[in-house]
């Protein structure tokens, strides 16, 4: 089953990122409802990954999935302009989980599981409801405040960790690179809420963007139990965008070395575990 729809327009005050080549006046990404053949898949990061959607409305400039997902998915549209909704994901997961060996499940590896369409389809929530009755550790990673909606379900999963990608404390810089993500301040507030509710939390500071590492560490203290730090690994794919915004210095080895060490030291001084993962 395949059905083509049109997603809602970007929220007021936002526009599509300049790096994209498509028409900025379009109302939103092309949305197709599809039936997946598999939803619980092997991952090179964790044991398994679940991606309820193929494609991502958030449209982050630096997303590594943009390099291969259009080709892999059969889409010719630029990244951020299409989303395939795997409408049978929960039913498929309910079947696959019965035969799976215990292992950590990452939600999600090549999309944001709480991108705007999740509000309509609730595929991530329905998947979590299935996992709540199973002995599988779950790691959720997002940039969206919509994850707050599912705290009630998440708390019922015995081994769960919720994290936000937070690559800078600078809201303007974050908005430049992550055009449809929730504001940084809101992500941090939600981490605090989850932590207070007894849910383990983390922040993924990657790729590390321009900003003030000490201010970022101060914000993350009391919000994230641990922080993972990574660099921009696909320099050739983003060089023109960085150059257009006079940010080429932020692609250098010296930038990452200096910024990451400042962040690590500031986090550890506040008792927060920090780890370089590049």
Element (H, E) at 253: helix 253-269
Question: What global pTM score does this model have?
Answer: 0.87
β strands within 48-206, DSSP E: 48-49, 53-54, 82-86, 105-107, 138-142, 160-165, 200-205
pLDDT (0 to 100) of residue 1: 46
Scored b (16 or more CB within 10 A) or e, 16-27 reads: bbebbeeeeeee
pLDDT (0 to 100) of residue 121: 98
Q: How big is the CA angle at 40 (ends 39 and 41), to the nearest 5 degrees?
A: 100
What's the burial of 170, exposed, middle or buried (CB within 10 Å: 0-12/13-18/19+)? middle
Report which of 92, 114, 102 is spatially closest to residue 46, judged by C-alpha positions.
102
Whether the CB-CB separation of 163 and 170 falls below 8 Å is answered with no
Task: Please list the residues that pair with 4 across neighbouring strands.
Answer: 32
Report which of 57, 49, 53 is spatially closest to residue 109, judged by C-alpha positions.
49
Spell out the per-residue pLDDT of the chain, length 278, in tens. Answer: 444 443 333 333 333 233 332 333 445 788 999 999 999 999 999 999 999 999 999 989 887 666 666 566 676 677 677 899 999 999 999 999 999 999 999 999 999 999 999 999 999 999 999 999 899 999 999 999 999 999 999 999 999 999 999 999 999 999 999 989 999 999 999 999 999 999 999 999 999 999 999 999 999 999 999 999 999 988 888 999 999 999 999 999 999 999 999 999 999 999 999 999 96
Whether the CB-CB separation of 162 and 199 falls below 8 Å is answered with yes
Distance CA 207, CA 44 (A): 19
Distance CA 84, CA 238 (A): 25
Q: Is the dihedral of CA 122, 127, 128, 133 positive or negative?
A: positive
pLDDT (0 to 100) of residue 233: 87
pLDDT (0 to 100) of residue 13: 37
Q: What is the DSSP letter of 23?
A: -
Q: What is the DSSP letter of 250?
A: G
pLDDT (0 to 100) of residue 70: 58
Three-class SS of residue 67? helix
Instruction: Say whether the peptide bond before residue 173 is cis (omega within 30 degrees of 0).
Output: no
Distance CA 212, CA 11 (A): 28
pLDDT (0 to 100) of residue 22: 30
């Amino acid at each position: 089953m395949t059905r083509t729809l049109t997603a809602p327009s970007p929220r007021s005050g936002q526009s599509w990122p300049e790096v994209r080549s498509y028409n900025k006046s379009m109302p939103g990404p092309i949305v197709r409802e599809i039936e997946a053949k598999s939803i619980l898949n092997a991952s090179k990061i964790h044991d398994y990954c679940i991606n309820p959607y193929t494609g991502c409305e958030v449209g982050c400039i630096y997303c590594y999935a943009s390099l291969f997902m259009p080709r892999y998915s059969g889409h010719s549209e630029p990244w951020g302009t299409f989303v395939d909704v795997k409408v049978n994901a929960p039913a498929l997961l309910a079947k696959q989980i019965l035969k799976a060996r215990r292992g950590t499940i990452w939600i999600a590896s090549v999309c944001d599981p709480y991108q705007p369409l999740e509000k309509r389809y609730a595929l991530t929530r329905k998947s979590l409801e299935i996992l709540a009755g199973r002995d599988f550790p779950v790691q959720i990673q997002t940039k969206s405040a919509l994850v707050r909606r599912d705290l009630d379900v998440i708390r019922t999963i015995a081994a769960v960790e919720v994290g936000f990608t937070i690559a800078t404390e600078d809201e303007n810089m974050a908005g430049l690179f992550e055009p449809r993500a929730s504001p940084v301040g809101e992500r941090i507030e939600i981490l605090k809420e989850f932590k207070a509710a007894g849910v383990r939390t983390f922040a993924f500071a990657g790729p590390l963007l321009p900003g003030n590492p000490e201010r970022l560490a101060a914000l993350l203290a009391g919000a994230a139990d641990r922080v993972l730090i990574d660099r921009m690994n696909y320099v050739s794919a983003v060089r023109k965008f960085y150059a257009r915004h006079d940010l080429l210095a932020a692609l250098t080895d010296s930038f990452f070395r200096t910024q990451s060490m400042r962040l690590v030291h500031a986090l550890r001084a506040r008792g927060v575990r920090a780890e370089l993962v590049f």
